[in-house]
Amino acid sequence: MIQRIQSLYLLLAAACGTATWFFNLWKADFLKAGVTQTVAVTAQSNFLSFVLYMLIVTLAVVCIFLYKNRKLQFRLTVLNVLLAVCAIFLQYFIVQGKIGDEQQAGAVMQTSTFLPAAFLPIVILILLFLAAKGIYKDEKLIKSLDRLR
């Protein structure tokens, strides 16, 4: 199960997805009426984002245990890749929404920073892609061995 490299990729993708729940992805300082206010975005700050990352982590863990059914494992991993792309876009729109909300409230942005954890969704996407590639390669190898029998 863990001997296959794609299982390791799936495990690392699940770990990165779990890490997004706990670390700040973006933070900014806004000046409003002479008071500096810090606004941060995590995966838990938005319900849809939290559910999406929870689904990504759950699918990655489930795919680890589907090593005997490679076709289903491949399909679920491709679905997980699509969910990871959606998570990247959702993260971008959440940050843009926070900026817009604060500026409509009359605040002026002083600093804005994407934190290192903001790149975890990209790492998740890469790891899931590598896992799908490994699963496809295994399936191709098994088909070629069956053909030789």
The helix, strand and coil proportions of the chain, stated in percent and rounded to the nearest 5, come to 70, 15, 15
Residue 48: what pLDDT? 93
Residue 138: what pLDDT? 87
Average pLDDT over residues 37-51: 88
| CA–CA–CA angle 120, 76, 42 (5° rounding) | 25
Residue 78: what pLDDT? 96
Q: Which domains does the chain have, with CATH numbers?
A: 5-138 (1.20.140.150)
Cα distances from 34 to residues 31, 38, 99, 103, 108, in angstroms, run 6, 13, 18, 15, 10
